[in-house]
Chain A
Amino acid sequence: MSRRRRPNVRLQAPPAWRARAVLALFGVFAVVLCARAFELQVLDREFLVEEGAKRHLRTIDVPAGRGAIRDRRGEPLALSAPTESVWAVPSAVLEAPERIAPLARRLEMDAGELRQRLAEYRDRQFLYLRRQLSPAQARRVMDLEVPGVFLQREYRRYYPAGEAAAQLVGLTDIDGHGQEGLELALDEALHGEAGSRRVIKDRVGRVVEDLAEFTPPRAGRDIRLTVDLRLQYLAYRELKAAVAQHRADGGVVVMLDPATGEVLALASSPSFNPNSRTSIPTGGLRNRAVTDIFEPGSTIKPLLVARALGSGAYSTASEIETDGGSFRVGRLKVSDFRDYGDVDLAELLSKSSNVAAAKIGLDLGAETVWDTYRDFGLGGVTGIRFPGERYGVLRDFYQWGEIATATAAYGYGVSVTALQLARAYAALADDGRLRDLRLVADGGGPRPVAPENRAVAAGAARTVRELLRGVVAPEGTGSRAEIPGYHVAGKTGTVRKVDTDGYALDRHQALFVGMAPADAPRLVTLVMIDEPRDESHYGGIVAAPVFARVMRDALRMLRVPPDAPERLAYTNPDRGDRS
């Protein structure tokens, strides 16, 4: 066949029997295999399944406890306690049908229902009968010694602060994974690492041998918040009372420490009881302070005035004509509550003149107004990284015309969260330094603020605080925010809500944002009441008294020395002996 010759090799055809023999051998093997398979699969099946089921090499999880969430003083806000869950191997329980009724009784279940569930899942090796029983109740169940019934350790989450901090702390699901609020945001740190044991189990699931392989569980870390539970309770209590009194849709109270950017209280209404999963109303899970945006209205004016002062174009002596209480910008008519005549910056704030604010805004120009709000952190991140936190709406200034500039100057066409607005006021309180807000205590003290995070010159911020004292003076719009013994600086706001067809006539948000003591503020508090349905909906009437009550108690609790002690004597607070 080939041209190269191999003279020594002669190919010889193999004898025919060889191929036949090999084939026959294969045939025998195949038959034996089939027979064996038939024997195992069909004849001995039951016996083998039984034998196999007798011994399982199993890895069981050893659950790890979830870390606690505590307030800044160590009080628990969320705590895990061990509980026992009862589970069963259904087929094993069904083999002892007479035990089902007493078992059901101790589990506080219906016997028929239990039997049905066991039958339904009889092919499973694992079925929860009842989850998260107290250890005592679980022991009573186990005392019955029903075969195939076991306990599994699980952790149940408790929320001692209840509804007062419900949206802030959030929730876990029944398996202990964070679902809402801080439970979700801090899940990685809070949840531990489950350990495992390698064991051999018998048919009914008993552990017959504990193999040496053991990975210990790693418990979750405890987290300490900047929130002070006493202040949180206080804020929530007053908020809840005000929402009920004014038949409002809800509300928010935010309290900040301006020197550190720490969030001291963050209350939201309506709330719910986080310890009972069935009671969660629609919308109750929302932490309105971070997820709801609104137009700040008049509460934005101090930011504008601070910039006007900081730019040097205005001083406290500047007078602005208010044109008889209304003036036109294109199609827009800007109007005041009434004609204030010529106003200076102090009156602009204390009377809350829209006309004067719009004029300053137009004078400064769209870019400067936009820049001001940006510098005060509106439309930006606050730093707390809360799930669902929104940035608000601050459109670019080149989309603004004259009208948008004018409305932005008195707080419309711009949307913020309560937390953003409170942070902007904290910057006014801290001489212009815009700090990142903190919700988790990390042990560090106040951090230096980068120069580019200065919202406004220190002098301008101080002057604005001085001017804002006029708002809380007897003739100002926020006179009800007065606190005996302290000078308060703050601003009211009454905002019309947007309906599908423009601004609603009868739906408002009442706002008050303020700080005390005015000279060197220790606390900044924002109060927002959503849709008060009373005879009055003004920020100065609905929100300011809430601010006063919360701040009065908070200042005393934090032992802030009164800066106007002479005013302690003759003021007569309407609820002096309540609290």
Chain B
Amino acid sequence: MTGAGQNRRALLIVVLVLANLVGALAVIQAKHRARELQSELQVLRVERDRLKTEWAQLQLEESAWANPDRVARIARERLDMRQPRHYAVLGETP
């Protein structure tokens, strides 16, 4: 085997070792990133659940406040409103 051939082989080995090293680092990096994303996902899931809960509670609250019986009572008692005895419907009916 010639010296040049040996050099080329050594070079190849070095390159491969380096590539291996880079690959290994990339794996570590990817794993780390995956873990980060995993924990971010976890945080976001918790946040989503919190928002879902809040949204459900807000809807429930709204329907409690907007209960027609309650609205009618407040209109009558607090705002002193009355049902119209005479009325005409203007415009298109829905």
Contact = CB atoms under 8 A, between A and B. Distances in A.
A568 B53 contact: no
Contacts, number: 73
Interface in B45-69: 49-50, 52-53, 56-57, 59-60, 63-64, 66-69
B87 A160 contact: no
Interface string B67-94: 1110010001000001111111100011
Given A153-B49, A234-B68, A484-B85, A76 B93 contact: no
A556 interface: yes
A76 B63 contact: yes
Given A158-B60, A558-B93, A82 B85 contact: no
A82 B48 CA distance: 11
Interface string A68-97: 000000011001111000000000000000
Contacts of A573: 85
Interface string A560-579: 11100100110001001111
Given A79-B59, A161-B63, A559 B83 contact: no
Contact of B83 (A237, A485, A560, A576): A576
B56 A556 contact: no
B94 A233 contact: no
A234 B86 CA distance: 20
Looking at A76, A80, A484, which has the most chain B CB atoms within 10 Å of its CB? A76
A160 B83 contact: no
Contacts of B86: 568-569
A577 B88 contact: no
Interface string A214-228: 000000000000000
Given A75-B63, A80-B56, A577-B76, 20 more contacts: A65-B52, A75-B66, A79-B59, A81-B53, A82-B56, A135-B50, A153-B49, A158-B56, A229-B68, A237-B69, A484-B85, A558-B93, A559-B94, A560-B89, A561-B88, A561-B93, A568-B86, A569-B86, A577-B83, A578-B76
Interface of A: 65, 75-76, 79-82, 135, 153, 158, 160-161, 210, 229-230, 233-234, 237, 484-485, 553, 556, 558-562, 565, 568-569, 573, 576-579
